[in-house]
Amino acid sequence: MFCFHKLRKHYKEYLIFKVNEAKLDPADNMEVDELRAVIMREEKAIPEGDEKDAQYKERLKEVSNGSMPVQGEGVRCG
């Protein structure tokens, strides 16, 4: 029996490893609304600012820093 769902989890774990290895930050590819959603999910205060301001986006990234851990868990097919 082919356990696709476990293979899929293993592939996700591999991708997470590659993201961490390259020291990529998922927040770099997020829009302001997505960063706000992350901050709200963590129940942190959202700073006031202009959505079109690049500095505002950087402040949001600072507030959300540490809120978006990229983690995986070991999965074996067997």
Residue-level length of the chain: 78
* Contact (CB, 8 A) for 63 and 46: yes
* Contact (CB, 8 A) for 10 and 60: no
Residue from 77, 62, 64 nearest 10 by CA: 77
Of residues 77 and 69, more confidence is placed in 69
pLDDT digits (tens, 9 = 90+) for 9-43: 889 899 989 988 998 888 888 999 999 999 999 88
Q: Where are the domains of the chain?
A: 25-68
Computed on alpha carbons and rounded to an integer, the radius of gyration of the chain in Å comes to 16
